[in-house]
Amino acid sequence: MNILVTGGAGFIGSHTAVALHEAGFTPVIIDNFTNSAPSALDGLEKILGFRPAFYENNCDDAALLRHIFEKEQIGGVIHFAAYKAVGESMAHPLKYYRNNLGSLLTLLEVMLEKQVPNLIFSSSCTVYGQPDQLPVTEDSPVKPAESVYGNTKQICEEILRDTIAAKNPLKITSLRYFNPIGAHPSALIGELPLGVPSNLVPFVTQTAAGIRNSLTVFGGDYPTPDGTCIRDYIHVMDLAEAHVAALQQLVKTNDSSFYEVYNVGTGNGNSVLEVIHAFDAISGQEKLPFVIGARRPGDVVAVYADAQKVTAGLGWNAKRSLEEALRDAWNWQKTLRQA
C-alpha cells in the first residue's frame, strides 16, 4: 500500500518513511522544505535503496493532493506537515492557524472526495499542559493550550473528532508524541534544526560538537528530585514504528468511521540533568559545559506517558533506551560535522 507522508523530509517523517518501508508499505513524500532539507531524501535513498516519490509543495494544495492520490494510488496518509515552534507561534498566530488548520482541512476534504480511508495525525503531549497526575493517560483532561502551536494541535484533534462524529467514511488515529530524540542508527538521517536549536538534545549535541559554547539548563529550582524539568524522551525510530502499528490497525479495522487517540511515549521520565549525564557517559568526550539558567516561560514541570493504552491497543512499546537515542543523536551530529 502506498502511503502519503506529508512533511516526510522532516525529522519524524523521514524516520517513519523508513519504518513504513520495513513493514512493506511504500512511502510517497510531500514536503515544502520549510523546516527540512533535500539532503533527508538523499539519506532516505541510501537507507531504502530507492528514492521515494517526492512532491515539493505545501500540502494545502487540493489540486496537487487530488493528483497525488490518483497517480500514486494512495491508500493512507500520515500527516506530519505543520509548524511547531512554540515561540514563533506566539509571535505569528495567524501564520500558525492558517498553516496547521488549513492543511488538515484541505487534506480531509480531498481524502473524503477521493475515498482515501486511513489517516494518522501528529499530535502532541502538549495538549495535556501540566497534568494533575503522572503518568498521563489519554483520559487526562486536555488543558487550555499554553501556546498557539499547542492550540493548533488541540483544534486539529477536535476537527478530527467532529469529522468522525458525523460518520464520515474515514479511519483516523491521533498520536500524542512525547519528546522524540535520536536518529536512524545509520546516521544517514536525523534532526536538522534551523538556526539555534530550541529543543534540548540538538542543543546538547551541537554543544558537544563545539558549535555552541555552553548549554543553558532552563531552571534548576523546579519541584523535582534534582530541580530540573522531567520529560519522556522517546527514540524517533520507536515513534516511527508506532505510526506503522497505528496504520496497520486502521487498515485492519472493519469500522468505516473510526477515531482513536494514543499516547506515544516510553512511560519513563528523565530530568534535564539526567539527560546531560547520560550524554556524558555515551559520548566519551569531556563533560558537556552547562549552566543552570532561568526557567523558560511555558515549560511544564514534568510530563511522561502512561503507555498502557498504546501497548494494549497496538501491541507497540518503546524498545530503545535513552542511552541508545543519545548515542544515535551524537553519531548523527558527528556526521553533520564532517559534511
- Residue numbers at the binding site for ligand UD1 (CB under 6 A): 84, 86, 124, 126, 150, 179, 198-200, 203, 215-218, 229, 231, 272, 296, 298-299
Distance CA 53, CA 4 (A): 9
User: Parallel, antiparallel, or unpaired: how do β-strands 270-271 and 230-231 relate?
Assistant: antiparallel
- For the packed helices 62-71 and 102-114, what is the interaxial angle rounded to 10 degrees? 40
Identity of the residue, 57 or 198, whose beta carbon is nearer to ligand UD1 in the bound complex: 198
CA 28 to chain centre: 18
Containing 171, the helix (H) or strand (E) segment is strand 171-177
Bridge partners, 180 (sequence order): 234
Residues serving a catalytic function are 149
User: Parallel, antiparallel, or unpaired: how do β-strands 215-218 and 290-293 relate?
Assistant: parallel
Distance CA 93, CA 153 (A): 13
- The residue whose Cβ lies closest to ligand UD1 is 229
- CB-CB contact of 76 with 119 (8 Å): yes
Identity of the residue, 299 or 324, whose beta carbon is nearer to ligand UD1 in the bound complex: 299
Residues 319, 325, 331: CA angle, nearest 5 degrees: 135
Identity of the residue, 38 or 293, whose beta carbon is nearer to ligand UD1 in the bound complex: 293
Which 3 state secondary structure label does DSSP give 50?
coil
Show the cell assigned to 13. 517523517
Backbone angles phi, psi at 257, to 5 degrees: -130, 120
195: CB partners within 8 A, 6+ apart? none
Show the cell assigned to 193. 534544526
Bridge partners, 215 (sequence order): 290
Distance CA 207, CA 291 (A): 12
Backbone angles phi, psi at 98, to 5 degrees: -55, -50
